[in-house]
Amino acid sequence: MIELTKRLAETWGPPGYEHRIRQLIRAEVADLADDIWVDGLGNLICRVGSGGKKLLIAAHMDEIGVMATYKEPHSGYLRFSNLGGLRTDTLHGNRVQFEDGTVGVIAAQGGGKTLDEFYIDVQADADSNATPVGQPAGFMRELQVRGERIIGKSLDDRIGCVVAIESMRRLRRETPHEVYFAFTVQEEVGLRGAKTAAQGVHPDIGIAIDVTASGDVLRGPKMLVRLGGGAAIKVHDPGLVVPVAIKNWMVARCQADGIPYQLELLTGGRTDASVIQLTDSGVPSGCISIPTRYLHTTSETVDIGDVKACIDLLTGLLTNPIDI
């Protein structure tokens, strides 16, 4: 699991430019699904099983990034816009890599408070620019493991992709249901991929696999979720009120299988489940969340035990009868 997480987290793939991470995941799941295709927006969709309930499991492939929009005259400095939710307090001194391989350094005079104060230094030498405008870039950082903690960039939501892939491995293409694993695109810029995936699949039940904040950091927001507490079962966020039957289904599975779990009530942020629920005449949807510290930074941190609990929960849900 660690090796897979490292490869996925370090792979380049800003919103709308998920082709590299999609290729990697497709190779990983090639023998784990009955059917695999890419839809018109770029989602990688894998069907496992047939008959019974039709479930859509969504984990997004994209990571936050930037887009070079303007070159300052007679300089190697690029202005840029955001691809997803950037935190300006973490940008100064960070490195990004453009699609052509160019590495740039983000900086701002005095540290910067608003995005228009920042620039990316891509000087190749005293007289030349290393990359043109109009290129996307993703952040750079090597994944590391510290005891039971995994630290890296883009664990939002590559760790969710790991949960989905590992669950597919455990299923071994055996499930009493018709399960569609969707590795979605452009979640960070408006949950776009999940919308087209759900419209194509027409599921009976939707489950997003994504990260959530933790309430165990100094002076952080107060919430029940903590690292090491197990799988987080979503109850509510600004885009989703989880149906009680879906929440109880997940809780009951954890209790039956002895899986550690905690309840998630998130006051900021949405997941793919927010748009899946609005498909057709409505789809009962929930979310299995991985507790994560330092979201939308290059040092997002998760607990290995929590990740395993999420894999156990998802696998349990997909291998047992559903009576909801």
Separation between Cα atoms, residue 206 and residue 219, nearest integer Å:
34
Start-to-end C-alpha separation, the chain: 32
Sign of CA dihedral 274, 291, 158, 9: positive
Give the separation between CA 46 and CA 56, rounded to whole angstroms: 10
- Active-site hit among 18, 28, 166, 187: 187
> From CA 200, how far away is CA 218, in angstroms rounded?
43
Looking only at the bridges linking them, the beta strands covering 118-121 and 103-108 are: antiparallel
3-state SS of the chain is CHHHHHHHHCCCCCCCCCHHHHHHHHHHHCCCCCEEEECCCCCEEEEECCCCCEEEEEEECCCCEEEEEEECCCCCEEEEEEECCCCHHHCCCCEEEECCCCEEEEEEHHHCCCHHHEEEECECCCCCECCCCCCEEEECCCCEEECCEEEECCHHHHHHHHHHHHHHHHHCCCCCCEEEEEEECCCCCCCHHHHHHHHHHCCCEEEEEEEECCCCCCCCCCCCCCCCCCEEEEEEECCEECCHHHHHHHHHHHHHHCCCEEEEECCCCCCCHHHHCCCCCCCCEEEEEEECECCCCCCEEEEHHHHHHHHHHHHHHHHCCCCC
Determine whether 300 is an active site residue: no
Catalytic residue positions, numbered: 187
